[in-house]
């Protein structure tokens, strides 16, 4: 049984599925991981990039739809009363293109930002077009750099990549947590000053 599972782990379809699902959790790390998989020859660069963009689009669209659904679901509306979501609604209503570009570049704001797009009733086509453009630009930049470095240092990276990956994942998670904590503290200070 274990042998059959291990043989499937190298199958390109399995790798594509892993890339897509990983973008739901840690988008930027998933882009880098997909680029390194492509650089090591596990999957073609085109397939890895397309899988990354597909996963990002699915995840962002789901968050947007949750925000839209909050207009019909009191339970969801109550869950989305968080200050970090609510303070993005007004700017998204005024300048959705600009705000969507900023949300893509700010990893700590993505989850909140795409929910806020739905709450702000950003038109579906506006959201979709802006999201696709920002995904392609953002993913291409990160993927390209990681792919080039992966190709250049593939031999030396193979030895220490498995040690570096957990360290990078831990640093990324702690960084995200610290960024959110700082933003929440700033929200709290702003609300105290206003009150």
Read out DSSP for 157-191? Answer: HHHHHHHHHHHHHHHHHHHHHHHHHHHHHHHHHHH
Residue 26 pLDDT: 79
- pLDDT of residue 53 exceeding 50, the answer is yes
CA dist 138 → 44, 56, 142, 144, 156 (Å): 19, 11, 6, 10, 27
Structure tokens at 105: 């570049």
Residue 56 pLDDT: 95
Half-sphere exposure of 141 (CA within 13 A, CB side): 8
How far is it, in rounded angstroms, from Cα 128 to Cα 64? 10
Ramachandran angles phi, psi of 128, nearest 5°? -65, -50
Average confidence (pLDDT) over 42-62? 94
Residue 166 pLDDT: 67
User: Over pLDDT 70: what percentage of the chain?
Assistant: 74
pTM: 0.76
- pLDDT of residue 25 exceeding 90, the answer is no
- pLDDT of residue 160 exceeding 90, the answer is no
Angle in degrees, 0-180, between the axes of helices 12-25 and 27-39, rounded to the nearest 10: 160
Instruction: Indicate the range of 21-25, 117-121, 158-162 predicted with least confidence.
Output: 158-162
- pLDDT of residue 7 exceeding 60, the answer is no
How far is it, in rounded angstroms, from Cα 65 to Cα 119? 9
Average confidence (pLDDT) over 71-97? 84
Instruction: Indicate the range of 26-30, 45-49, 120-124 predicted with least confidence.
Output: 26-30
Average confidence (pLDDT) over 166-186? 68
Angle in degrees, 0-180, between the axes of helices 110-119 and 83-94, rounded to the nearest 10: 60
- What's the whole-number average pLDDT of the chain? 80
Enclosing domain of residue 31: 2-194
How far is it, in rounded angstroms, from Cα 36 to Cα 140? 13
Residue 10 vs residue 124, higher pLDDT: 124
Q: What is the pLDDT of residues 145-157, one digit of tens each?
A: 999 888 877 666 5
How many domains are there within the chain?
1
């Amino acid at each position: 049984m274990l042998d059959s599972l291990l043989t499937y782990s190298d199958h390109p379809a399995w790798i594509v599925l892993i890339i897509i699902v990983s973008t739901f959790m840690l988008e930027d790390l998933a882009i880098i991981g997909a680029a390194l998989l492509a650089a090591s020859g596990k999957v073609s660069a085109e397939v890895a990039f397309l899988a990354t963009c597909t996963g990002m689009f699915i995840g962002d669209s789901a968050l947007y739809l949750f925000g839209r659904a909050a207009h019909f679901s009191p339970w969801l509306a109550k869950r989305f009363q968080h200050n970090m979501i609510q303070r993005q609604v007004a700017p998204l209503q005024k300048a959705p293109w600009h705000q969507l570009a900023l949300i893509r570049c700010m990893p700590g704001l993505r989850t909140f930002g795409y929910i806020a797009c739905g709450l702000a009733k950003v038109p579906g086509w506006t959201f979709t077009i802006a999201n696709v453009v920002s995904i392609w630009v953002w993913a291409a930049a990160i993927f390209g750099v990681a792919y080039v470095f992966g190709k250049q240092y593939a031999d030396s990276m193979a030895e220490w990549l498995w040690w570096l990956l957990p360290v990078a994942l831990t640093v990324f998670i702690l960084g995200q947590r610290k960024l959110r904590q700082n933003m929440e503290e700033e929200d709290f200070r702003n609300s105290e000053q206003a009150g």
